[in-house]
Structure 1
Amino acid sequence: MPAKLSVNLNAVAMLRNRRDLPWPSVTALGRIALAAGAHGLTVHPRPDQRHIRFSDLPDLRALIDDEFPQAEFNIEGYPTEDFLALVERTQPEQVTLVPDDPAQATSDHGWPFERQGNFLRPVVARLKKRGMRVSLFCDPDASEREIEAARGTGADRVELYTGPYGGRHDDPAGAEIEARKLGITARLADDAGLGVNAGHDLTVVNLPGLVRAVPHLAEVSIGHGLTADALEHGMAATVKRFLAALQG
């Protein structure tokens, strides 16, 4: 079965936030994406609300519940108490925990699972107790020891950071090297009983290579490249293009 597509709406929200106006509507674009076949929506609300605002979350939760009950809501973030309270109020199907500093422009590395396992374990347990699937952001070349430590947190999945792979968009040989790293880490995760998600700088062009490297990929979360394509092709057509690319 092809990996599921979750559309990250942060770039849409960032464009909206350039003006004190309600457009482009995050909810309206989310509706178009889901109607076109996307399997879910992703947001990464940061403390400064520079793109997704906390006030967007109830609207997106209601959109899925009322119109697309088969879809999933995925919320990413660093597990501060404020973030955890936010997701507990919103009740997404999946929470993806990232090790970002609040000032970072975007996620750019995975968790050091061995070093921070004791920090992550109670957070994962808290979220799972409330019925949420938990995914942990993971380096593309994580070692077997690191993957075992990730499993030890009680998480359900890891999300492979695909930034280095996406960054080789003009270097096919380099992209192949990065894809092999992702494939090795994904196999380690699969062997450990962890589901495998992926995200960062994924495009229609590089998705087939990722799918070949990670044949048991469960889900991809895509924002920047998908939103850029939507400016040219429209959101509905773009979602269909990405779904086709996930066929490999």
Structure 2
Amino acid sequence: MPAKLSVNLNAVAMLRNRRDLPWPSVTALGRIALAAGAHGLTVHPRPDQRHIRFSDLPDLRALIDDAFPEAEFNIEGYPTGEFLDLVERTEPEQVTLVPDDPAQATSDHGWPFERQGNFLRPIVARLKKRGMRVSLFCDPDASQREIEAARDTGADRVELYTGPYGGCHDDPAKCAIELQKLDKTAALAQAAGLGVNAGHDLTVANLPGLVRAVPNLAEVSIGHGLTADALEHGMARTVGRFLKALEG
């Protein structure tokens, strides 16, 4: 079965936030994406709300509950007290924890699981107690010890950071090297009993290579590349293109 597609709406929200106007509508475009076959929606509410606003979350939660109950809501972010309170109010199906500094433009590295396992363990337990699946952002070349430390936090999945793979779109030899790293890390995660998600700089062009390298990939979360395609092809057609690419 192909990996599921979760559409990240942060880039849509960033465009909306350029003006004090309600368009483009994050909820309306989320509805189009789900109606076109996307399996879920992803948002990353940062402390400064420069992309998704906290006020968007109840609307997106209601959209899924009322119109697409089979879809999943994935909220990602750094686990501050404010963030944890936010996800507990929203009750997403999945929470993806990332080690971002609040000032970062975007996520660009995974957790140092060995060093921060004790920090993550009670957070993971808190979220799982509320019935949420927990995924942890993971470097593409994590060692076996790091993966075992991720497992020991109690998390359900890791999300492979695919930025380096996406960044070598014009260098086939480097792409092959990055895919080997992702393949090895995914195999370690699966051997440790962890599900594997992936995200960052994924496109229609590079998805087939990824899903061939990581055949048991559970989910991809895609925002920037998908939103860029939607400007050209429209959201509904773009979702179809990405679903096709996930077939390998």
- 2:8 is matched with 8
List 4+ stretches of structure 1 deviating above 6 A.
Answer: none
Distance 2:127 2:176 in 1: 36
Aligned to 1:159, what secondary structure does the other structure show?
Answer: strand
User: Is the counterpart of residue 192 in structure 1 residue 187 in structure 2?
Assistant: no
Residues 34-73 of structure 1 correspond to what in structure 2 (within 5 A)? Answer: 34-73=34-73
Distance 1:173 1:5 in 2: 27
Shift of 1:148: 0.1
- 2:219 is matched with 219
Q: Which runs of 5+ in 2 are unaligned?
A: none
Residues 115-130 of structure 1 correspond to what in structure 2 (within 5 A)? Answer: 115-130=115-130
1:131-185 Cα offsets, whole Å, 9 max, x none, are 0000000000000000000000000000000000000010111111101100000
- 2:154 is matched with 154
Shift of 1:200: 0.1
Shift of 1:29: 0.2
Distance 1:51 1:186 in 2: 30
Residues 69-218 of structure 1 correspond to what in structure 2 (within 5 A)? Answer: 69-218=69-218
Aligned to 1:6, what secondary structure does the other structure show?
Answer: strand
Q: Which runs of 5+ in 1 are unaligned?
A: none
Distance 1:176 1:30 in 2: 33
Distance 1:200 1:51 in 2: 16
**How many residue pairs were aligned?**
248
Q: Normalized against structure 1, the TM-score is what?
A: 1.00
Letter in 1 for 2:177: I
Shift of 1:98: 0.1
Aligned to 1:135, what secondary structure does the other structure show?
Answer: strand
Letter in 1 for 2:88: E
Q: Kindly, what percent of the aligned residue pairs are identical? A: 90
Distance 2:78 2:203 in 1: 25
Distance 1:32 1:67 in 2: 11
1:105-126 Cα offsets, whole Å, 9 max, x none, are 0000000000000000000000
Q: What RMSD, in angstroms, separates the aligned Cα atoms of the two structures? A: 0.2
Shift of 1:219: 0.0
Aligned to 2:23, what secondary structure does the other structure show?
Answer: coil
Shift of 1:20: 0.0
Distance 1:216 1:112 in 2: 24
- 1:236 is matched with 236
Aligned to 2:159, what secondary structure does the other structure show?
Answer: strand
Distance 1:92 1:176 in 2: 35
Letter in 2 for 1:103: A
Q: Normalized against structure 2, the TM-score is what?
A: 1.00
